[in-house]
Structure formats: C-alpha cells, structure tokens
Amino acid sequence: MVARELSPFAKSIIEYQEKNHLTDADFSLESHRSVERIHALKTMEAEPTNDEYRKITAVINGQKLD
C-alpha cells in the first residue's frame, strides 16, 4: 500500500476532530453528513461537493449550520 499525502481539506477535518475530541459519528452529526461520507472525505476516497466543502468548512470555522 502506497501512502499518499492528505489533502488540506482532509487534514482540516482530522485536525478539527482531534482538537475537539470528536469521533467520525460526532462530526457527522455536527456537519449533517453521514459517518460513511465523513470517512470517505477524510480518506480521500471521495471528493467533497461544493456544498459539502462550504458547510464542513463553516463547521470547522465555528459557524453553526441551519
């Protein structure tokens, strides 16, 4: 298995979770995304949609989602 560098987006999710002691389940509730989707974004198995990028970035920056 070849290690690949994480994207800045994936790193930002991981760092936010570590800083706030959040599991993928916790973060999925906070970001209104499924656990599976959060995992796929963190492992870069999937690319975020524009909406996902905007909303997840907002959560990481401390903004509440409606």
Task: Count how many domains the chain has.
Answer: 1
- pTM value? 0.88
Percent of the chain topping pLDDT 90:
88
Task: Look at residue 37 and tell me whether its pLDDT is greater than 80.
Answer: yes
Q: Is residue 13 in some structural domain?
A: no
State how far the Cα of 65 lies from the Cα of 56, in Å rounded to an integer. 9
State the pLDDT at residue 66: 66
Q: Is residue 15 in some structural domain?
A: no
How many Cβ atoms are within 10 Å of 55's Cβ, its own excluded?
A: 18
Q: Is residue 2 in some structural domain?
A: no
Domain span including residue 65: 20-66
